Amino acid sequence: MLHKEGKATIFIALVVLFGLNALAFWLAPQLTWFHNLLLFASVVMLIIVLQFFRNPEVNTPSHEDHVISPCDGKVVVIEEVEETEFFKGKRIQVSVFMSPFNVHVNRNPITGIVKYFKYHPGSYLVAWHPKSSTENERTTVVIEKSNGIQVMFRQIAGALARRIVWYVKEGQSVQQGGEMGFIKFGSRVDIFLPIGSTIKVVREQVVKGGKTVIAEIA
């Protein structure tokens, strides 16, 4: 299944690739080898675009104490940090990097109420740059569980990711594993957990959005 965010991009890709192939045949109808090569390259390019916007069905086993990964990718950061935007105190940060070949649907890590949301315009540093979490274009979302525990996560644009999409707003009830947004063409998501959370992943571990348990919180 393809994600709705890919409709315009896929249509544009089809028009451009069809146009290039038609133009090549019109300008040089005798160069059969070139037409075949261009057609092959066009098919490969279309497959890459289609796979980027794939949206596989995910069944998230809901668990009150689990924080699930908000995206597919690789864990690149696990560290204690000073969170200055909302909590203004120490938190455990877990960052997941998404390559262009990962599924780019973003999901709610816990069930609860969206207590805080803010969109920040910014730069487009490479996603693994230490300052990308605070200087790049990003969104910040805080979800509060029924017991009052809050988890923050950020969608962060990177050097290739120039479009962040979100579907949540303050006061909204959200379900663990439900879609909250989409980032186009590779980036990362940071999760900020309470001190004392039991981290269930390690650096360099490959995780699946809506499936992998990032941490346990009481």
Could you give the residue numbers annotated as active site?
187
HSE toward the beta carbon, residue 185, CA cutoff 13 A: 10
CB atoms within 10 A of CB 149: 18
56-61 contact pairs (CB < 8 A, 24+): 56/1, 56/103, 57/1, 58/107, 58/177, 58/208, 58/209, 58/210, 58/211, 59/177, 60/107, 60/176, 60/177, 60/210, 60/211
Quick one: tokens of 210? 């809506």
CB atoms within 10 A of CB 208: 16
